[in-house]
């Protein structure tokens, strides 16, 4: 059995995966809950038989949280806990960007799709809204825009008269009250941002791409933009499974 995980700024996901790559259990919790006391309680839900674990791999954009989970798991098993960028990824992907500054989650997503035939743009609605450009088996870099939820919360925190708002699809452009005006600004604003960035990537590279979307707001935008997209909610775990084969 493998323990595979994705430690994000907002949410952490931990998967128990069989040796034939089947997800048997999944645990999701807020990344802010990662501490030695809470981890014990959180991992109980996975009911892990640590004697059967032979690989542990995480992608993480929060180094302190990875260290805490690694320390916790070291008390449960002698199996080494790896972070994606601890491994030599050269056999899986070529990287043209600054390796030290590319998040391991973004590399994991890219590795999930590499097939040496197709070009992909991976649009991930996380704490940040990221666009990653994969040309065949080469990660060429990407774009980082403010996250939808983070931006919404920031606006309501800084503007006294704007309440907390849940983003929903809205038909009208012109809002007739504060809530509908904000929803329109964020919904149509991000839809325009997405389409424009994808257009500019295609223009700059002079290539065609399959656009894959994932993350929290992917359901909201998948049918609301001009660009044809493919929804893949399992892209990160599939990438982790692929990368885990590097661990001997």
Give catalytic residues, as residue numbers: 105
- Our measurement of the distance from residue 199's CA atom to the centroid of its chain's CA atoms, rounded to an integer in Å, reads 22
Q: Using an 8 Å Cβ cutoff, are 181 and 175 in contact?
A: yes
148-158 vs 178-205: helix axis angle to the nearest 10?
140
What span, in angstroms and rounded, lies between the C-alpha atoms of 218 and 234?
A: 12
Provide the sign of the torsion angle of the four alpha carbons 185, 191, 192, 196, taken in this order: positive
Give backbone dihedrals phi and psi of 46, rounded to 5 degrees, phi first.
-80, -20
What are the CA-CA distances from residue 215 to residues 5, 224, 228 (Å)?
A: 15, 15, 17
Looking only at the bridges linking them, the beta strands covering 2-7 and 23-30 are: unpaired
């Amino acid at each position: 059995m493998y323990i595979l995980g994705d430690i994000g700024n907002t949410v952490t996901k931990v998967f128990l995966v069989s040796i034939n790559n089947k997800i048997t259990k999944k645990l999701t919790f807020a990344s802010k809950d990662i501490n030695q006391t809470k981890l014990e309680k959180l991992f109980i839900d996975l009911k892990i038989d640590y004697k059967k674990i032979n690989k542990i791999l995480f992608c993480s954009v929060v180094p302190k949280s990875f260290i805490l989970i690694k320390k916790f798991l070291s008390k449960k098993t002698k199996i080494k806990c790896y972070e994606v960028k601890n491994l030599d990824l050269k056999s899986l992907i070529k990287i043209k960007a600054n390796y030290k500054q590319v998040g391991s989650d973004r590399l994991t997503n890219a590795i999930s799709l590499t097939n040496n035939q197709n070009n992909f743009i991976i649009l991930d609605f996380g704490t940040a809204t990221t666009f990653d450009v994969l040309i065949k088996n080469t990660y060429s870099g990407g774009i980082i825009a403010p996250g939808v939820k983070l931006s919404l919360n920031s606006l309501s925190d800084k503007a006294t008269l704007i309440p907390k708002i849940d983003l929903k699809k809205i038909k009208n452009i012109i809002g007739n009250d504060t809530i509908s005006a904000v929803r329109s600004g964020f919904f149509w604003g991000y839809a325009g941002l997405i389409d424009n960035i994808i257009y500019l990537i295609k223009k700059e590279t002079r290539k065609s791409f399959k656009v894959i979307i994932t993350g929290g707001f992917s359901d909201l935008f998948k049918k609301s933009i001009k660009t044809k997209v493919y929804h893949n909610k399992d892209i990160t775990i599939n990438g982790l499974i692929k990368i885990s084969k590097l661990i001997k």
